[in-house]
Chain A
Amino acid sequence: MKKCYIKTICLIIILSFVVGTGICRGGYDYIDITHPFLRKIPIAIPVFKKIYSGDAAERLSKTASDLLSESLEFTGYFKILDREAFLVDMQTVTSLANVNFHNWTSIGAELLVTGGVLIEGNQVEMELRLYDTFKEKLLVGKRYKGLIKNQRKIVRRFCSEIVFILTGDKGFFNSEIAFVSKSSGNKEIYICEFDGYNPRQITHLKSITLSPAWSSDGKWLAYTSYAKGNPDLYIKHLRQKRGAVISKKGINITPAWVPNKFALAATLSFSGDPEIYLLTGTGKVINRLTKKRGIDLSPSWSPDGKHMAFVSKRPGTPQVYIKNISSGAVRRLTFQGRYNTQPSWSPKGDKVAYAGMGNGRNNIFVIGIDGQGPIQLTHDQGDNEAPSWSPDGSLIVFSSTREGPSRIYVMTAYGTDQRRLLALEGEQTEPDWSPGMVNN
């Protein structure tokens, strides 16, 4: 597996070319970080030009340009312009490097992506460029070479380049989402790509398996399973047969990896009371993090690992609290409503998403860590639970019963562009978005 992984990297040769010296992200606010989804940037993505004609190139130029459109649309930043409105057919242009920008500004495109596809044997060479049509400027251009079957990877690398140029963050194009699915009849852990592509079953425990949690290097997954009768905590390496099982008396649940450490917090009730403990990656208890009688659970770490959000029933109803790990100080974060659970700390560190119940229904809320808000992101559409942020903090994945059985949905961090990620047989619940770089 590892060999194959290295090979893939070697095959994708990236050549940057003619990136103008004047490219400065700060110079032009393409995407307003404070209101990134308020105005979507109109972008034109014509079908890539096939350098030599042939059926394979024909197909690939279409699928690759469509994939690029879909991947960029997924971010919520762009309005993908209808190809029917285009004034130019890219297949007829003589040179990809010479663009008549007026053809694009006149149809309202502010950005343009052009691509060229060359196929030789089982290899593909793709030449991709992003232009600012009004400034008539090349923003980024790359040439990639790799196996035809790795075209998705190539397209997504360029998506990362585009989003990086526009926002200063590489985005989530190499990320994955773990979730629970009952497709096989039992609840098992599945993983799919960020856009729902290629879902695959990871556990085959034929039991009840719940609450997947990614380590911050994307190599480990922790989850709870009843495989041996009791709700035990499993810590598993995704590629190697390594791991540990924590099987103490009572519940062993809600794992949350400490950022950039081989350690995790989890809820154990062996003391007779559900409390949060800090554990090594090999499953040994380091120390106890919550000390109040009554239910404490669902830890979620701040990106710097200095604070931990968690749920506590200490006020009589479940509410979100924040603990400062070094000082030990604990403060209550949520005051609205009588049932606030499943906190998820944003990757930028300034917000916590959670599920709050009102009128018997759960909905997704976001609250500032200073307590500002909260803002309700889902409304009147079934139960909406288990929020988890994309690694760049721009999107939130969650589960919803809005169409009947629970399914996985995605929305922007501001609650716009809500859409279903995938639909497998049975229910899908408890999504957890991986860190930025998995599997590349």
Chain B
Amino acid sequence: MRKKLLINLAMVLVIPGFLFTVSCAKKTIRADTSLTQQAEDEAAAEKAKQAIEEQRLQEETERKATARNMFLNEDIFFEFDSAVLLAEAQAILKKKAEWLINNPDVTATVEGHCDERGTNEYNLALGDRRAASAKTFLMDLGISGSRLTYISYGEERPVDPGHNEEAWAKNRRGHLTIN
């Protein structure tokens, strides 16, 4: 009787154990395949994520470059014998100020230029006024004066060498450069 009990006990312990083992083994195999699958999925996801990230970075770089180029290339224009900032010039300067806020390490120079019609000396002073008014406007938008210098080139550096209103309009400009 006692012997039968022991066998029964053994059966109780072994069979589920066996069963467990079997199921375990089976489960392990299944788990292995799913792990591989998962790794592959994860790798793909990672790759996709990286691609997205890369694209994002590239877009970011492009966006930054565009913003930088806009900052550098988008000139403001003036009327003849005037250093008054027109509405369009103010809008452009606001974008430039935004860029300067987003790029706090940058220091910039404001250049003042004139068309050829006035006389050389007066144009040096007018260019000085133009650059100074653009600088003051940027400072009013929160850019520290210590980040901005300005210089007048008078009529000495035209972008368009023509002798007509079209050329003059292009040459009466304020231009920003990064130091």
Contact = CB atoms under 8 A, between A and B. Distances in A.
Interface of A: 187, 208, 210-211, 224, 226, 229-231, 250-251, 253-254, 267, 269, 272, 274, 295, 297-298, 311, 317-318, 339, 341-342, 355, 357, 360, 362, 385-386, 429-430
A274 B132 CA distance: 11
Interface residues of B, number: 18
B81 A317 contact: yes
B119 A341 contact: yes
B152 A357 contact: no
A429 to B, nearest CB: 7
10 contacts: A208-B153, A224-B124, A231-B124, A251-B125, A269-B128, A274-B125, A311-B122, A341-B118, A341-B119, A360-B117
B115 to A, nearest CB: 10
A274 B129 contact: yes
B118 A250 contact: no
Contact of B125 (A269, A339, A386, A429): A269
Contacts of B150: 250
Given A208-B156, A231-B152, A269-B128, A341 B117 contact: no
Contacts of A226: 156
Nearest to A208: B156
B110 to A, nearest CB: 12
A171 B150 CA distance: 45
Contacts of A342: 119, 121-122
Interface of B: 81, 117-122, 124-126, 128-129, 132, 150-153, 156
B120 A251 contact: no
B92 to A, nearest CB: 23
B120 A429 contact: yes
Contacts of A295: 122, 125-126, 129
A contact face: mostly helix, strand, loop, or mixed: strand
A251 B122 contact: no
A318 B81 contact: yes
Per CB-CB distance, the 5 closest pairs between chain A and chain B, nearest first, are A274-B125, A341-B119, A295-B125, A341-B122, A251-B128
A210 B152 contact: no
A355 B128 contact: no
B120 A339 contact: no
Contact of A253 (B81, B121, B151): B121
Given A208-B156, A251-B152, A272-B132, A430 B120 contact: yes
Contacts of A229: 151
A211 B118 CA distance: 15
Contacts of B120: 210-211, 385-386, 429-430
A339 B120 CA distance: 13
A385 B119 contact: yes
Contacts of B153: 208
B121 A355 contact: no
Contacts of B152: 231, 250-251
Nearest to A252: B124
A250 B119 contact: no
B128 A274 contact: yes
